[in-house]
Homo-oligomer: A and B are copies of this chain.
C-alpha cells in the first residue's frame, strides 16, 4: 500500500473544529465527511454529538488512532493541537490560514518541527485539502450551493492554490469530465507536489495529472517526481509567478518564493514535461488527455465546413509545431469522385456550407492512413451538420486509435453536438485555435523526439 493511501483513502478521519451546522465551515466539512467510506470522529469540546456522530473533546479522547486528522482551528491553536497528535495520527491536514502567507514564519516553522518530531505528515497549512469522490472523502469547506464538484473520473488535480482548485473543479465538471484525486496543499510546510506526483504515478484511477504550481520547494526532488510521473501518464503543469509582478504576488499568497521561471521552464523542456501556457490551456489539455490517448507524430489533417475556421486552424498548426501535409494524390482522386466540385479538396478539406453530415465520414475514411492526428470543425449554422456527425467521429476515433479533436461553433445544435461528441470521447473546443493546441498536447506525447 502506498503511503499516501492513508491521506487519499483514509479509513478513520478526525475533524478538529467540527461544527453543528453548515453555517460554519467546520459544519460543511463534517457534512461532507458523512459520505466517507470509513469512520468519522468529530472533535469539539462543546458537543457530545454532532450530526449524529459521537463528538470528542480532543484528539486525545479518540477511541483509536486515525489515518487523517483535519484541523480547522485558529492558527495560534494549531501547535497545541498538533502536540496531542503524536502516535495517534498519520496525516494532519491543516486547513487553518494565518501562517507564512501573512508573515507568521515562526509559527509555520513551529508546526513543521512538531510534525517532524512526532512523525506526522502535514498537509497545508492554508489549504482546502483533499477530494476523492470514489472514497467519499471531501475536506473542502466550500458551501455546496456555491460549488458543485465533479464526479468520478480520470483527471487528478494537484494545486498549490485553493482558489485555483475550486475554479478547476467547477470547470472540469462543466466540461463533462470527472476527477480521480484532487489536492490543494497550500503553504506546503511538509507535503509538496513531489509527494503527490509519486503517489499518482502508481494510482490506477488517474490517467492525466494537471498541476498548478507557484513554487516547487526542493527543485531536484520535484523534477525527479515530475519526470517519473510523466513517464507513466501525462502531467500538465501551469507554473504561476513567472515575471517579477507574478512572483511577488505568489509570495504574498502562500509565503513561498517562486524561484526563476526561466530555469523552471528549461528544466520542464529538458524532461519533456508539458507546460500549459495559461489557465484555459491547462483545462483544454486536461480534457484532451482525459478522453484520448497521447501519441506521437505531427502530421495533421483538418476537415472543416467553414473556410475561415479552417484557415485559423491551419495558422495555429504552424504556431503549435504541427504540420499540414497536402493530401496524398490517391486521397485527392478518391475525394474528387465523392464530393461536389466546389468543395476544397486540400488540407484543410473544406466541405463548405453545403456540407452533408455523411461527408465527414467520407473525408475521415479517405485520410485516416496518411495523418497522425485530426481536427474536425463542425459549424452548426448550416442544416447539413447534424448530430450524426458525433457518431462518425467517434467511430473513426475508435477504429484508428489516433488523436481526434473537434471545434464546434456556438449556436443551433452546437451544445447537443458537443456533448454527444464528448460522450464519444472526442474533446470539443470553442475555437479553432484551442482545438489545435489541444491536439498538439496529445501529439507531443511520449516517444515524440520533437516536443
Contacts and interface: CB of A to CB of B under 8 A. Distances in A.
Interface residues of A, number: 82
B433 A280 contact: yes
A381 B184 CA distance: 15
Interface string A215-252: 00000000000000000000000101111111011101
A350 B126 CA distance: 14
Nearest to A354: B97
Contacts of A304: 163
A264 to B, nearest CB: 13
A198 interface: no
B147 A309 contact: no
Number of copies: 2
A382 interface: yes
A163 B280 contact: no
A277 to B, nearest CB: 8
A159 interface: yes
Interface stretch (A40-48, A330-338, A339-347): A339-347
B409 A166 contact: yes
A260 interface: no
Given A97-B352, A278-B431, A241 B306 contact: no
Interface in A315-342: 315-319, 323-324, 341-342
Interface string A62-80: 0000000000000000000
Given A101-B307, A249-B324, A249-B348, 9 more contacts: A102-B344, A146-B382, A167-B306, A174-B411, A214-B308, A241-B311, A241-B315, A250-B311, A253-B311
23 contacts: A145-B412, A159-B308, A160-B308, A163-B304, A163-B353, A166-B381, A167-B308, A167-B309, A167-B379, A174-B410, A240-B308, A240-B315, A241-B315, A245-B318, A245-B323, A246-B314, A248-B324, A249-B307, A252-B346, A279-B309, A279-B312, A279-B433, A280-B434
Interface of A: 97-98, 101-102, 142-143, 145-148, 159-164, 166-167, 170-171, 174, 212, 214, 238, 240-246, 248-250, 252-254, 278-280, 302, 304-312, 314-319, 323-324, 341-342, 344, 346-348, 350, 352-353, 379-383, 409-413, 430-434
